[in-house]
Amino acid sequence: MHQSRVPDLLGAHVSTQGGVHTAPARGTAIGATAIQVFTKTPNQWREPSITEETRAAFRQELERSGISSIVAHDSYLINLASPDPVLHARSTASFLAELERCESLGIPFIVSHPGNFIEDREMGLVRNAAAYTHCLQTAPGRVTVLLETTAGTGTALGSTFEELHALRERIGEGVRHRIGFCADTCHLFSAGYDLAADFDGVWRRWEETIGLAHLRCLHLNDSKTAFASRRDRHQLIGEGSLGREPFRRIMTDPRFAGVMKIIETPKGDDKVTLDRRMLRRLRRYASATPPR
């Protein structure tokens, strides 16, 4: 990686159409210093294999790009909390494959939604923790799983700090060090954590319940819906219900300086222009003098 300047760890989820090795150049094109990718088609069960040629091409392009940080996101189909034995087994096998691809490619983090309990919340937590434990034990290495905060829609787990903490504590002690967290600003707001009106209070609760040391990634997304809506609808930065101030606070708060910041905002027709605009906007927030 280029070391000429300290990176701001800011970027977007970028496409891997044409192969995972194409992602770093897409990150460079929008001015990113960090990117998030899928290592497979997220709405299909088919598991691609990582050949030596694929691995070499990806690592070469990443080195060439100067992208300083990269995180993967797991498949939308995976539900490690499912009570259905067939879906649970398939999800476990798929998540294990996700870990193995990340290890092969040298991607150090993978964001994962805790899943949907469907019938019983407590048993969903038990199944989820057991599956994460099994997968991490089966796929030794350095890949860290980042449990993502959820908006609380339906039977989704992970909408409260207490539940995320409880899930990590249930994961096997021998692999628990490979569990961190990803906080999504839209999800937090929709779940009832008011980043707009009580920014400091939200992060104080996070520190007391989970610990900021375990926060490794932030998904920076405004919300199309109102506070505590329990809906996951992303909006452009500063143009939704959250507004500009929470993002300005995040971009200027030294506690988040070493945390990857990834936007998953609407991309528009060309998949480039809006991402560039959002990253420039966030960097302006970072450099602006705070209002008195």
Ordered by where they begin, the domains of the chain are 10-287 (3.20.20.150)
Q: Can you tell me the distance from the alpha carbon of 122 to that of 127, in angstroms, rounded to the nearest whole number?
A: 9
How many Å apart are CA 110 and CA 180, to the nearest integer?
10
pLDDT number for residue 5 = 52
Handedness of CA 155, 159, 161, 165 (dihedral sign): positive
Q: For 174-219, how does the pLDDT look when each residue is reduced to its tens digit (9 = 90+)?
A: 999 999 999 999 999 999 999 999 999 999 999 999 999 999 999 9
234-252 pLDDT, tens digit per residue, is 999 999 999 999 999 999 9
- Give the tens place of pLDDT for each residue, 106-141: 999 999 999 999 999 999 999 999 999 999 999 999
2 pLDDT band, cuts 50/70/90, is very low
Structure-derived torsion over alpha carbons of residues 162, 94, 9, 166, reported in degrees to the nearest 10: 10
Provide the H-helix boundaries in 106-226: 121-138, 161-170, 185-191, 199-209
Task: Tell me the C-alpha distance between 265 and 12, whole Å.
Answer: 8
Mutual angle of helices 85-105 and 52-65, in 10-degree steps? 60
Pairing relationship of beta strands 10-13 and 69-73 according to DSSP bridges? unpaired
